[in-house]
Amino acid sequence: MARLIIPNRRGHQTLEWDTTVDSEETRAVIEEAERIIADARRQGCLVSRKVGDRHELYDGPFDPHAEEYQVIAPIAGG
């Protein structure tokens, strides 16, 4: 199971998909995850990808087989 964790005002949202299942639903979720990551990057967010047991900042192309991605929102100063 792969997933994308997206921060929001109430904590976070998780989008998950099964990379072993090839279905319309799985393809739609993968497309949505890719769109969310692209939009987040355009808005100034960073993205990390889980590699082994830790997360590393990642600016490469979306890989639907990666175990986990996290969108990291910029900290707003005041």
In a domain, 77, yes or no: no
- For residue range 29-76, list pLDDT tens digits in order: 999 999 999 999 999 999 999 999 999 999 999 999 999 999 998 877
The answer on pLDDT for 78 being more than 80 is no
What CA–CA distance (Å, rounded) separates 68 from 31?
15
Say which residue the tokens 């109430």 belong to.
10
Phi, psi dihedral angles at 10 (to 5 degrees): -105, 10
The boundaries of the domain holding residue 55 are 2-72
In a domain, 39, yes or no: yes
In a domain, 55, yes or no: yes
In a domain, 78, yes or no: no
In a domain, 36, yes or no: yes
The answer on pLDDT for 10 being more than 70 is yes
Domain CATH code at residue 33: 3.10.20
Q: Which residue has the higher pLDDT, 22 or 77?
A: 22
pTM of structure: 0.89
Q: Which residue has the higher pLDDT, 13 or 75?
A: 13
Q: Where are the beta strands (DSSP E) in the chain?
A: 2-8, 11-17, 46-51, 54-57, 68-72
In a domain, 56, yes or no: yes
The structural domain count of the chain equals: 1
